[in-house]
C-alpha cells in the first residue's frame, strides 16, 4: 500500500497499533504496520527496559512511543511533579478519606481481600508520570532510542516534546476528539493528527469517528490524519480512508490477541461483550474514558459514590485497587470478577476470538483489499 504515512515511516501498511504490551508492538511492526508502545504509568527505568527489548526484537523496523502529558492536573500533582522524590506521600495524602473509605467499602461489599489501600496506588509509578516533569523524563528516555514516532495521548504536545523530537528527527503525533483540538495541535507543532471518535477505548470525546475524521482532515490539511475509534476490521479501515484518513490508529483490537497482557478475566469479558457493554466513565482516571461496564463503573458512577477525583488522584485510587482485584479474579473470586474491567472501545463487540497480533494485521489488510475491490466493482458497473 502507498500512502503518505507509509512512505514517511517506511511501513507496508498504514496501520498504527497502540498497545501497552511490547509483544504486540513488536508483532505488528514485524507484520508491516507500526507498533506504538503506550508508556502511561511507566517509570523511566521500566520504559528503558521495554524499549531496549523492542530494539532487540523489531529488527530495525520502525516503532513509536505514546506518552500522556495532560494540560490540566490536580494542583497537588503539579506540585508533586516538582518534588525531587516524586511527591508520592503528598499525592496519597491528597486523596480524601471518604474516597479511601468508599474503596474499602467496595472490597468488603464484593468480598475481595483488601490490600493496604493507602499504599495501593503506587503513586511513584502512576501519579508522577502524568505530571509535566514525570512525562518529560519519559520523553527523554524514548528519544534516546531509535523510535520513529512520539505521540501525545492527551492534550497538545508540550513545547519540550516538539523541540526534542524535531532535533532528533522524530515525528510528533497528537490525539484529538474535536476539530478545535486538532487546530490547537497543529499550532503546537504536531506532524500527524489522530482523530479519535467517541467509540474508542480510553480517553475520548463524544463525537463519532464517522463525523470527526472528515472534519479534522479538512481542518488540518495538508497534515496527514489517522482515524481512530471503532476500527478493528479491514472494512472499517477502508471506510476511514474513504473519509480522507491517511491511515488508521487501532488500540482495542489488540487486547484480545495472543500476545496481549490483558488480565485473563478481563480478556474473557471482552470476548463475550457486545458493543453495548462499554461506558465512558471517570472512575479509573478522573477524566472520561471508555471502558468495560462493570460493578466498578456502576459503583463509582452511582448515587452513593463520593465521585471521581481529578487526574491523577483517581488513577492512584483506581489503578492500585485494580491490581489486587485482577489477582483475586484469577483465583476465582466472584466479586472481583464483577469489579474487574479495562479500557476498551465499542468495537469490543467484534473481538470474539483470540488470534496472534500478526494474524489480526493480515486479516485487516485482506478485508481492506476486498472492500476496495467491492467498491471498484460498484463504480465500474
Decide if 82 is inside a domain.
Answer: no
123, pLDDT greater than 60: no
Residue bearing the bigger pLDDT, 158 or 277: 277
> What CATH number does the domain containing 68 carry?
3.20.20.70
SS3 state at 66: strand
State mean pLDDT over 166-188.
96
For residue 38, list its beta bridge partners.
66
Q: What is the mean pLDDT of residues 94-109?
A: 95
pLDDT value at position 178? 97
Do 298 and 239 fall within a single domain? no
Q: Coil, strand, or helix at residue 10?
A: coil
More confident: 319 or 8: 8
Statement to judge: residues 116 and 180 lie in one domain: no
Tell me: do 289 and 375 sit in the same domain: no
Cβ distance 13 to 33 under 8 Å?
A: yes
Same domain, 180 and 168: yes
**Residue 358 and residue 303 share a domain:** no
Least confident span in 17-26, 67-76, 80-89: 80-89
pLDDT of residue 26: 98
pTM of the model: 0.92
- Per-residue pLDDT of 360-369, as tens digits, reads 999 999 999 9
In a domain, 345, yes or no: no
Structural domain for 146, as ranges: 4-72+128-259+351-380
Q: How far apart are CA 162 and CA 356, in angstroms?
A: 34
CB 36 within 8 A of CB 25: yes
In the predicted model, what is the mean pLDDT of residues 38-49?
90
Please state the domain count of the chain.
Answer: 2
Same-domain status, 106 and 61: no
In a domain, 37, yes or no: yes
What local confidence, expressed as pLDDT, does residue 319 receive? 86
- Could you report the per-residue pLDDT of 132-151, keeping only the tens digit for each? 677 788 999 999 999 999 99
Query: Is it the case that residue 84 has pLDDT exceeding 60?
Result: no
Amino acid at each position: 500500500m502507498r500512502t503518505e504515512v507509509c512512505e514517511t515511516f517506511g511501513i507496508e501498511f498504514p496501520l498504527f497499533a497502540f498497545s501497552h504490551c511490547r509483544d504486540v508492538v513488536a508483532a505488528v511492526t514485524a507484520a508491516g504496520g507500526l507498533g506504538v508502545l503506550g508508556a502511561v504509568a511507566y517509570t523511566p527505568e521500566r520504559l528503558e527496559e521495554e524499549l531496549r527489548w523492542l530494539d532487540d526484537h523489531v529488527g530495525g523496523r520502525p516503532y513509536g512511543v505514546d506518552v500522556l502529558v495532560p494540560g490540566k492536573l490536580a494542583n497537588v500533582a503539579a506540585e508533586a511533579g516538582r518534588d525531587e522524590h516524586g511527591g508520592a506521600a503528598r499525592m496519597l495524602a491528597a486523596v480524601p478519606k471518604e474516597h479511601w473509605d468508599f474503596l474499602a467499602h467496595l472490597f468488603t461489599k464484593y468480598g475481595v481481600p483488601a490490600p493496604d489501600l493507602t499504599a495501593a496506588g503506587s503513586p511513584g509509578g502512576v501519579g508522577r508520570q502524568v505530571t509535566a516533569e514525570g512525562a518529560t523524563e519519559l520523553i527523554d528516555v524514548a528519544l534516546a532510542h531509535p523510535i520513529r514516532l512520539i505521540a501525545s495521548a492527551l492534550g497538545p504536545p508540550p513545547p519540550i516534546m516538539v523541540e526534542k523530537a524535531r532535533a532528533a528527527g522524530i515525528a510528533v503525533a497528537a490525539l484529538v476528539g474535536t476539530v478545535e483540538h486538532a487546530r490547537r495541535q497543529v499550532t503546537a507543532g504536531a506532524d500527524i493528527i489522530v482523530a479519535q471518535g467517541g467509540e474508542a477505548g480510553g480517553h475520548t470525546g463524544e463525537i463519532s469517528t464517522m463525523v470527526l475524521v472528515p472534519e479534522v482532515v479538512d481542518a488540518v490539511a495538508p497534515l496527514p490524519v489517522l482515524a481512530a475509534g471503532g476500527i478493528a476490521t479491514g472494512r472499517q479501515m477502508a471506510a476511514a480512508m474513504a473519509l480522507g484518513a491517511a491511515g488508521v490508529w487501532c488500540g482495542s483490537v489488540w487486547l484480545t490477541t495472543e500476545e496481549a497482557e490483558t488480565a485473563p478475566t478481563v480478556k474473557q469479558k471482552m470476548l463475550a461483550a457486545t458493543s453495548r457493554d462499554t461506558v465512558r466513565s471517570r472512575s479509573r482516571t478522573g477524566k472520561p474514558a471508555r471502558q468495560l461496564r462493570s460493578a466498578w463503573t456502576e459503583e463509582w458512577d452511582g448515587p452513593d459514590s463520593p465521585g471521581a477525583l481529578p487526574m491523577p488522584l483517581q488513577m492512584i485510587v483506581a489503578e492500585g485497587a485494580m491490581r489486587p482485584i485482577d489477582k483475586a479474579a484469577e483465583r476465582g473470586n466472584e466479586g472481583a470478577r464483577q469489579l474487574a474491567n479495562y479500557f476498551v472501545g465499542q468495537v469490543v463487540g467484534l473481538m470474539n476470538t483470540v488470534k496472534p497480533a500478526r494474524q489480526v494485521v493480515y486479516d485487516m489488510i485482506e478485508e481492506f483489499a476486498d472492500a476496495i475491490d467491492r467498491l471498484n466493482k460498484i463504480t465500474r458497473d
